[in-house]
Amino acid sequence: MITITRVPPYLTVQNGGRRNSRSLGVPRGGAMDLFAIRAVNAIVGNSLEAAALEWALGGGAVRFERDCVVAIGGATARATLGGRIVPPCTASYARAGDELVVDQLTSGRFLYLACDGGIDVPILLGSRCTYLPGRFGGYEGRTLRSGDTVKLGERPFSRPAAGFHSGADLMPRYDSEIVHVTRGTQADLFDESDWRTLTESDYRISMASDRSGYKLEGPAIRNSLGMLPSEAGCPGAIQIPGDGLPIALMADAPTVGGYPKIAVISEADLPILAQRRPGESIRFQLITIEQSQRALKRRGSDMLTISQLASRS
């Protein structure tokens, strides 16, 4: 069990998201940074799809009520466990009663905290992830509060060695200025100059950005197309609404929508955008679907490397 002793401004239970529910209007959901949540799971010896805590917007503290292996990753945090500094993406052993204190998130937006055994909340529509707009999933469909206790699952058979660390070279380059995109379903409806605008401008993450989408501020892209008949969108799709300012759809994005989609963020790079805070910038670079799939395969093999190193440590 974990007790939330001092809740950060945002704390939810998440995992890899839902499958086979989008035709009911239920978004994929799950962690904003799928690579980071899977990496911290791998480091503590969990299945990659185990549930972990998604933490944002500030510091806080949680207490472990049983011995467990814990790891944090994603956003960079100043954190201590039982008074000792917790390095990122490292297996740390917590004794029952130890408190993990996150002082502050120094860079990035979403911190993931995994414990061996995973967070044990009921499975709804095939997943343990929290969908806040629908008030379901995760812990009673809501953000956690101080005093809440969340159950942990059974500890995995094999445990990584204390101090096992996944190198930064196996993680996405979160400081990259470039986020790669492929052509979207309505790419052909935009002309050369629209594409130059999209790929040669700096776009800043707006304050109007949340788990459903990041509004981007920068040069507007002409949208003379208006609304099209609704069709499926997905996390990473970049749609151009009437005001011309792109919206990157994120984990909780509506399943279908009518704005034209000029591009789709390469799945390998989506964690980089997810970890950008309002006010920070990115630049888009166009690649082919084949290049995008190769990049995703590299991420997949990096994840496999992390899992294998953890199980052998």
Partner 1 sequence: MFGTERSAELLHEIHSAVRALEAARIPNVEDVVPAYLALTVFYDSLRVSYREISAALLAACDRVSDFGKGPTPRTHRIPVRYDGPDLDFVATSTGLSVDEVVARHSGRSYTVDLLGFVPGFGYLGELDPALHLPRRAAPRPRVVAGSVAIAAAQTAVYPLDTPGGWHIIGLMQTVMFDPTRSPPALLAPGDTVKFERVQ
Interface residues toward partner 1, by CB under 8 A = 19-28, 124-125, 131, 133-137, 185, 227, 229-232, 234, 254-257, 267, 289, 293, 296-297, 300
Residues 96, 64 contacting (CB under 8 angstroms)? yes
Q: Pick between residue 98 and residue 267 the one whose CB is nearest to partner 1.
A: 267
Phi, psi (degrees; rounded to nearest 5) at 101: -115, 120
Q: Pick between residue 26 and residue 144 the one whose CB is nearest to partner 1.
A: 26
Using only C-alpha atoms, the chain has a radius of gyration, in whole angstroms, of 19
Q: Pick between residue 152 and residue 170 the one whose CB is nearest to partner 1.
A: 170
Q: Pick between residue 27 and residue 117 the one whose CB is nearest to partner 1.
A: 27
What's the min distance (Å) between Cβ of 229 and partner 1?
4
Q: Pick between residue 125 and residue 220 the one whose CB is nearest to partner 1.
A: 125
What's the min distance (Å) between Cβ of 139 and partner 1?
14
What's the min distance (Å) between Cβ of 167 and partner 1?
21
Residues 198, 191 contacting (CB under 8 angstroms)? no
DSSP state of 88: T
CA gap 261, 237 in Å, rounded: 6
What's the min distance (Å) between Cβ of 13 and partner 1?
15
What's the min distance (Å) between Cβ of 225 and partner 1?
14
Q: Pick between residue 134 and residue 153 the one whose CB is nearest to partner 1.
A: 134
CA gap 56, 250 in Å, rounded: 16
Contacts of 118 (CB under 8 A, 6+ apart): 41, 46, 47, 50, 51, 52, 152, 153
Nearest CA-CA partner of 53 in 76, 77, 70, 28: 70
Give the dihedral sign, CA 260/264/265/271: positive
What's the min distance (Å) between Cβ of 141 and partner 1?
9
Contacts of 160 (CB under 8 A, 6+ apart): 43, 44, 45, 69, 91, 310, 311, 313
CA gap 128, 37 in Å, rounded: 13
What's the min distance (Å) between Cβ of 63 and partner 1?
30
Task: Give the position of tokens 């799950």.
Answer: 30
What's the min distance (Å) between Cβ of 298 and partner 1?
10
Q: Pick between residue 125 and residue 309 the one whose CB is nearest to partner 1.
A: 125
Task: Give the position of tokens 């949208």.
Answer: 223
CA gap 245, 223 in Å, rounded: 9
Q: Pick between residue 199 and residue 293 the one whose CB is nearest to partner 1.
A: 293
